[in-house]
Amino acid sequence: MAFSVVKSLTGFLLLLNFSMYVIVAAIAGWALNKAIDHSYVIGSNGTVPTGFSFSPMFFPIGNEATGFLVIFSLIAAVVGAGSCVSGIHHLRVWSTESLASSASSAMTAWGLTLLAMGLACKEIHIHGRSPKLIALESFLIILSGTKLFYLMLIHAGFFGGRFFAHEDTHVVTATPDPPKGSTATA
C-alpha cells in the first residue's frame, strides 16, 4: 500500500516538475528573444556611443542579474526536463539500475536549478524587474523545493524494499557442483 503511494506521488511530482520546467524554458526563452531583438543605438560612423554599455548579457527588461538568470534558467530547464524523462523511465521500470540514472540526472538538474534560483534571489535583491521575470523567479524557487522532494522520494522508495536488481530476475537452471570432499549419491 505504501509502495503504491510513493510511486503515485513520484509520478505526480514528475509531471509537476516537467510542466514547471517547460514554463521556465518558455519564459526564459521569451526574455532571451526580447534581448536579441532589442536594437542597440549605433552612431552614424558605426561606433557605439560613449557611455553606452554594450554587453551580450544586457537585457532591456530587467536589472544587472537578468542576463545570467535567463541563461542559467534555460540550461536548468533543458536539463531538468531531460531528467524528468529519465524519471518517467525509472517510474515505469522501478529497478536499481534505473534509479542510478534517474537520481544522477535529477541531482544534476537540481544543482543547476539551485544555481538559477540563487541568481533569481540576487535579481530579487537588486529590484527593478518585469512581472514575467517575477514569475520566472517564483517558478525557480518552487522548482528547487519540488526537485529536492522528488529526489528524497525516489531514494525513500529504494529503502522500501520493492526494488529489484536485473540479476534477481534470472533463474539458475544448472545444478551446482557438489561440495569438495563429499561423494555424490545416486
What angle do the packed helices 131-158 and 2-37 form, to 10 degrees?
Answer: 150
pLDDT in tens, 5-52: 888 899 999 999 999 999 999 999 999 988 887 755 555 666 655 555
Lowest mean pLDDT among 107-111, 132-136, 153-157, 177-181: 177-181
Average pLDDT across the chain, whole number? 82
pLDDT at 26: 98
**In a 3-state reduction of DSSP, which class is residue 181?**
coil
pTM equals: 0.77
**87 to 41, 130, 153: CA distances (angstroms):** 47, 33, 12
Q: What percent of the chain has pLDDT over 70?
A: 72
